[in-house]
Amino acid sequence: MPAADVSQHDEREVLARAEGLRKAYPGLVAVDDVDFEIRAGEVVGLLGKNGAGKSTLIKLMVGVQRADAGRLELLGQEVDLNHHGAANARALGLAVMFQELEIFPGMSVAENVGLASRPPRRLGLVDYRRLHRTVREVLDTVDPEIDSEATIDTLSPAQQRAVMIARAVYQGARLLVLDEPTTSLTAREIDALHALVRRLAERGNAVVYVSHRLEEIMQVTDRVVVMRDGEVVGEMGTGRTTIRGLIATITGNEDGTTAAERRVEKGVGTRPLGPVRLRVSELRRREVLHDVSFDVHAGEILGIGGLVGSGRTELLRALFGADPADGGTIAVDGRELRISSPRDAIDAGIVLLPEDRRHQGLVDTFGIRENVTLATLPAFRAGRLPMPSKRSERSATVELMEGLSMRARGPEQLVAHLSGGTQQKVVIAKWMLRQGQLLMFDEPTQGIDVDAKAEVYALMERFAEGGASVVLVSSEFSELVAVCDRVVVLREGTVVRTLAGAEVTEAAITDACYAGTAPA
Amino acid sequence: MTATRAHTSEAPSGAPRSSAPGVLDFARRNGVLLALAATIVLFSALRPEIFPTLDNVETMLRQLAPLAIAAFGLTVVLVMNDFDLSLGAMIGLGGTTAIVLMSNTGMSFVLAIVLALGVGVLVGLANGFAVAWAGASSFVITLAMGTILQGVEYQISNQQPVFQNIPESYKELANASLFGLSSQVYVALGIFVVLFVLLERAEIGRYMYAIGGNIEAARLSGIRVRELRVLGFVITALCSTVAGILLSSQAGQSSPDVGIPYLLPVFAAVFLGSTAIKVGKFNILGTLVGALFLQVISTGLILLELKPAIVNIVQGGILAGAVLLARLDRANARG
């Protein structure tokens, strides 16, 4: 039995301790008898599939949800679970940063940091001079390059994230919870964030780092806690495990396969390519796309790599007519098309599964059925009148739900209540009904768990085998390696390299992103 | 320690809660309907000789019709998350246009009505294009439009009641009755049926709700968002015009400032309606319930010979209460 490498004779201050925490919803125990301890100076990774109970656990800690049973101690103080809430958590020194940035747009950095809590006052009014000075002191420890007087909107997402952390520090937080903090950050920004996390820990704070990105977990954490079905199923020092081991613990399966292994196993990149389906020539749009040219073949999965801001999303949106191109040509099956709206693209068999599914892919107020049939409603007419038959909609939806093994109560369940992976499947189902010839996926696995990721990959492969063309944009280069036959790398709105077959490796993609223009 | 994920039977919090919902949930879901029934019973008990009579029912339905028609129209834009604050002025201008045309030119009443409806369509198009194409805020644009329309109405009527040379046939339109019910009730019913089918049964309605739920997702699904938003404003303006024509026909004249007082009750009916039938969603059946409720309250309070001030306070209180109730409902649903 390997001795636990923390806690045994640990003299470090305990910042959070939970015993027997439990939270049940009708039909589901979300957090089941969970114990944990977080000590000063630690960076703890919290892992698990969607629905494993991570979010609920965090919400119990911060008091957004009320625990049914158990004990919780924050910074040495027993928390009264019945009267716990965000304000109390903050007063005790716990700060949670969810995936979405909680900024006050239009206000300065200093205001964003300082105004939410006891700003310095003079004569009853905010003392801005002192506010800037005190905020400056905090910013110097977080990111000295940020100007406290700048309007928050002018900062990059990474800097905004840093400002959020500065706010927590300013408010005296000792324990910070970061939920998927690196979404939409570049590799360099991720490194900077990790350095900041380490600094915070060294200063005697603790950070709980929640992420599906296992590479980052390996990089930044000291210790990991893995949850599955509401229980803690593994707790180990990060140094004592591997990505493969983590995947195995997360899924409960014995084998954890890496991207490169998957590529070889599935014969990705060795499949014969069909004729050219889509030909893009010299596509331009404002400042974001300059002269983009590439082909996509029938039956192919083409990856588009690049850093944030390289024009990947913009390219897909231009091809889809969401933000139409200013110049250049788009031809499908040899026929040149004018695409000035999503409708034009859809008519031509081009569909886009957008990056931000909550805001661009789903209608929150609709159930699964109404979302799934939204783009193909006329196909469900009962008679000649333009009125959909709910019965035929429902049977098509149920069929898709089974085919995609969606976890939901039924076809009428509101999509707002589904997990991220299931939501993504709803968007996929919508476009499966459309039988598109070219399917573009923008970050389809963002925020979804290992199992659901594998299912999304399998789906893309199924589309390609059926003769469709698939275009995949992903910030996780391992994903491109795992599923893409070829990878086009963008940089500053231009194609800088095309990789095919065995050339497709994470190193090669990363290299192309930074190095730029080597010959293809 | 529980070994595996527990299902319904085991969830501890589920059990105590699940006994109550039967009654409570029903009450919350049907709050407005229950309140409507309760007020009807109440007023019938307090004024048994007047309130629960066929005569009174006929009167209430007739008085209700113009408001309900405008409210049906407003429901369509609200479904898409747009506002139309010009509808009060449009009600006034609709009636005045028809009256002034007949009075000044001796035009036939049919042509006058067609032209008045044409003005309604133009106003709807103007609102719609400003909002959907130019990207203006519907709140501000329709507020401005309402001011303009009111100015136009004052201009063409000299801010005076107009009643000369109105053909009898025009006056008969809103004063005729069939099977004991005013013709206005049938017009309202017809518009109700058309808009019910449009919003609840047709593809267009689904698209409109999608636009209201998530406009970007709707656009990326290939829905003609801009066209449908314009259509919504046209429908609202047309319904308001019809309401205005009925009012002027019933009075046999146009008078300035007939329309504006309708603005708030129309909104009240639709918002009240969003707390009934499909709770939390604007819906046409709910709007009907909301309009009925407002009418019952105002008639009942007048029959009780309360001061108008009290009538206002009670109506406002009911609207605020209903909307808060619906909010509570959603807050609870979220947990």
Per-residue pLDDT, B23: 67
**Structure confidence at residue B18 (pLDDT):** 41
Q: Which residue has the higher pLDDT, A248 or B139?
A: B139
pLDDT at A411 over 60: yes
Position B24 scores a pLDDT of 66
Segment A146-205, tens digit of pLDDT: 888 889 888 888 888 889 889 888 888 899 999 888 877 777 888 889 999 999 999 999
Q: Which of B1, B79, B221, B330 to mutate to test the interface with A (most CBs of A within 10 A)?
A: B221
Q: A337 falls in which pLDDT band (50, 70, 90)?
A: very high
Shared domain for A303 and A387, answered yes or no, is yes
Domain assignment present for residue A198? The answer is no
- Indicate yes or no: CB of B221 within 8 angstroms of CB of A388: no
The pLDDT value given to residue A252? 73
Quick check: A224 and A241 in contact, CB under 8 A?
Answer: yes
Strand partners, A125: A122
> Residue A198: CB partners within 8 Å, gap ≥ 6?
A43, A220
Give the integer Cα–Cα distance in Å for B254 and B248: 5
Q: What is the pLDDT of residues A307-318, one digit of tens each?
A: 777 899 999 999
pLDDT at A387 over 50: yes
**Mean pLDDT value of segment B173-183:** 90
Last residue of a domain, one of A235, A256, A277: A256
pLDDT of B304:
86
Cβ of A374 within 8 Å of Cβ of B219? The answer is no
A107 at interface of B, judged by CB pairs closer than 8 A:
no
Cβ-Cβ contacts under 8 Å, A343 against chain B: 222, 224
pLDDT at A4: 44
Give the pairing of strands A231-237 and A276-285: unpaired
β-strand partners of A296 = A278
Band of pLDDT at residue A255, cut at 50, 70 and 90: low
Give the span between the Cα atoms of B9 and A437, in whole angstroms: 46
Give the residue on A whose Cα is nearest the Cα of B12. A24
Which CATH number belongs to the domain containing residue B254 in this structure?
1.10.3470
Q: Which position has the token pair 């996929």?
A: A428
What is the amino acid identity at position B132? Answer: A
CA A445/CA A456 separation, integer angstroms: 7
Backbone phi and psi for residue B242, each to the nearest 5 degrees, phi listed first? -60, -45
B277 lies in some domain: yes
CA dist., res. A95 & res. A60, Å (int): 13
% chain A with pLDDT above 90: 42
Residues A231 and A316 in one domain: no
At residue A434, the pLDDT reads 85
b (16+ CB within 10 A) / e for A390-402: beebbebbbebbe
What's residue A520's pLDDT?
A: 40
A194 within a domain of the structure (yes/no): no
Residue of A29, A354, A387 lying closest to B203 (CB–CB): A387
Compute the distance between CA of residue A393 and CA of residue A194 in angstroms, rounded to an integer: 47
Overall domain count for chain A: 3
A68 in reach of chain B (CB within 8 A): yes
- Closest partner residue to B206 (CB to CB) among A322, A346, A370 is A370
Which residue in chain A is spatially nearest to B225 when comparing CA positions?
Answer: A343
Same domain, A83 and A116: no
Domain carrying residue A375: 262-515
pLDDT in tens, B186-244: 999 999 999 999 999 999 999 999 999 999 999 999 999 999 999 999 999 999 999 99
Q: Chain B residues with CB inside 8 Å of A322's CB?
A: 219-220
Residues A424 and A319 in one domain: yes
Cβ contact, residue pair B14, A32, below 8 Å: no
**Subunit contact B209:A24, Cβ cutoff 8 A:** no
Query: B1 and A322 in contact by Cβ < 8 A?
Result: no
Write out the H or E segment, with its range, that includes residue B317.
helix B308-334
Residue B144's pLDDT band, with cuts at 50, 70 and 90, is very high
Domain membership of residue B90 (yes or no) is yes
Please, which pLDDT band fits residue A212 given cuts at 50, 70 and 90? confident
Does B123 reside within a domain? yes
Q: Cβ B223–A374 below 8 Å, yes or no?
A: yes
Identify the pLDDT of residue B10: 32
d(CA A387, CA A377): 9
Long-range (24+ apart) CB contacts under 8 A made by B173-176 are: B173/B109, B173/B245, B173/B246, B173/B249, B174/B246, B174/B247, B174/B249, B174/B250, B175/B249, B175/B250
**Number of residue pairs across A and B with CB atoms under 8 Å?**
107
Q: Which residue of B has its CA nearest to A52?
A: B5
| Residue A112 C-alpha, separation from nearest chain B C-alpha, in angstroms | 27
Reported as a pLDDT band with limits 50, 70 and 90, residue A375 is very high
The answer to whether residues A233 and A114 belong to one domain is no
- For residues A315 and A292, the answer to whether their CB atoms sit within 8 Å is yes
pLDDT at A71: 92
**Has residue B164 been placed in a domain?**
yes
Whether B327 has a pLDDT exceeding 80, the answer reads no
Q: Parallel, antiparallel, or unpaired: how do β-strands A276-285 and A94-97 relate?
A: unpaired
pLDDT confidence of residue B329: 57
The pTM for the full model equals: 0.78
User: Looking at residue A67, which CATH number applies to its domain?
Assistant: 3.40.50.300
Q: What is the pLDDT of residue B13?
A: 37
Decide if pLDDT at A235 tops 80. Answer: yes
- Tell me if A408 is assigned to some domain: yes
The pLDDT-based confidence of A253 (bands split at 50, 70, 90) is low
Subunit contact A24:B14, Cβ cutoff 8 A: yes
- Is residue A195 situated within a structural domain? no
Shortest distance between the Cα of B196 and any Cα of chain A, in A, equals 12
Per the domain annotation, does A520 fall within a domain? no
Contact between chains at A342 and B219 (C-beta distance less than 8 A): yes
Give whole-number Cα distances, A246 to A3, A215, A226, A255, A277, in Å: 19, 10, 8, 10, 39
Instruction: Please name the residues in contact with A144: beta carbons below 8 A apart, sequence gap of 6 or more.
Output: none
Contact assessment for residue A339 and residue A313, using Cβ atoms and an 8 Å cutoff: no
- Taking an 8 Å cut-off on Cβ atoms, the answer to whether B201 and A387 are in contact is yes
Is residue A98 assigned to a domain? no
Task: Give per-residue pLDDT as tens, A432-461.
Answer: 888 788 999 999 887 777 777 888 899 899
The alpha-carbon gap from B276 to the nearest alpha carbon of chain A, in Å, equals 16
Q: How does pLDDT run across A42-59, given as a tens digit for each residue? A: 999 998 876 788 888 998
Domain that holds residue B141: 33-329
Please check whether residues A360 and A474 belong to one and the same domain: yes
Nearest CA in chain A to B15: A26
**Side chain identity at A285, as an amino acid letter?**
R
Q: Do B10 and A29 touch (CB under 8 A)?
A: yes
In a domain, A9, yes or no: yes
SS3 label, residue A33: strand
A74-98: average pLDDT: 86
Q: Is residue B105 part of a domain?
A: yes
A511–B contact, CB cutoff 8 A = no
Asked whether residue A395 falls in the same domain as residue A501, the answer is: yes
The CA angle A345-A349-A355, to the nearest 5 degrees, is 65
Whether residue B1 lies inside any domain: the answer is no
Q: Which residue has the higher pLDDT, B83 or A358?
A: B83
Window 261-300 of A, Cβ < 8 Å to B: none
Query: Does A71 share its domain with A107?
Result: no
Asked whether residue B7 is assigned to any structural domain, the reply reads no
How far B154 CA lies from chain A's nearest CA (Å)?
A: 42
β-strands A327-332, A335-337 pairing: antiparallel
Q: A342 at the B interface (CB within 8 A)?
A: yes
Q: How many folded domains does chain B comprise? A: 1
Whole-number Å distance between alpha carbons of B227 and B133? 9
One domain, residues A138 and A270: no
Question: CB A343 to CB B224 under 8 A?
Answer: yes
A272-286, B8-22, B102-116, B119-133: segment of lowest average pLDDT: B8-22
Q: Are residues A166 and A84 in the same domain?
A: no
Of the pLDDT bands very low, low, confident and very high (cuts 50, 70, 90), residue A515 is low
Q: Which of A24, A366, A387 sits opposite B213 (nearest CB)?
A: A366
Q: Which residues of A touch B335 (CB under 8 A)?
A: 65
Query: Which residues from B are below 8 Å from A375, CB to CB?
Result: 221-222
Query: Which positions ≥6 away from B35 have C-beta within 8 Å?
Result: B293, B318, B322
E strand or H helix that includes residue A80:
none
Phi, psi at A228, each rounded to 5°: -150, 130
Q: Yes or no: say if A75 and A51 are a contact pair by the CB < 8 Å rule.
A: no
Q: Closest-CA residue in chain B for A417?
A: B334
Q: Average pLDDT over chain B, rounded to whole?
A: 87
A2 touches chain B (CB under 8 A): no
Q: Which of A58-72, B3-17, B168-182 is predicted least confidently?
A: B3-17
Two structure tokens written together for A390: 């709910």
Summary mean pLDDT of chain A: 87
Q: Cα(A152)–Cα(A58) distance, rounded to whole angstroms?
A: 27
Contact criterion met (CB below 8 Å) for A132 and A147: no
What per-residue confidence (pLDDT) applies to B9? Answer: 34
Regarding whether A231 and A362 lie in a shared domain, the answer is no
Predicted confidence at residue A7, as pLDDT, reads: 45
Residue A25 lies in a domain: yes
Pairing of strands A69-74, A121-122: unpaired
Q: What is the largest CA-CA distance in chain A?
A: 77
Q: Are residues A145 and A278 in the same domain?
A: no
Residue A28 forms contact with B (CB below 8 Å)? yes
pLDDT digits (tens, 9 = 90+) for B273-326: 888 878 778 999 999 999 999 899 888 888 888 887 887 888 788 878 777 776
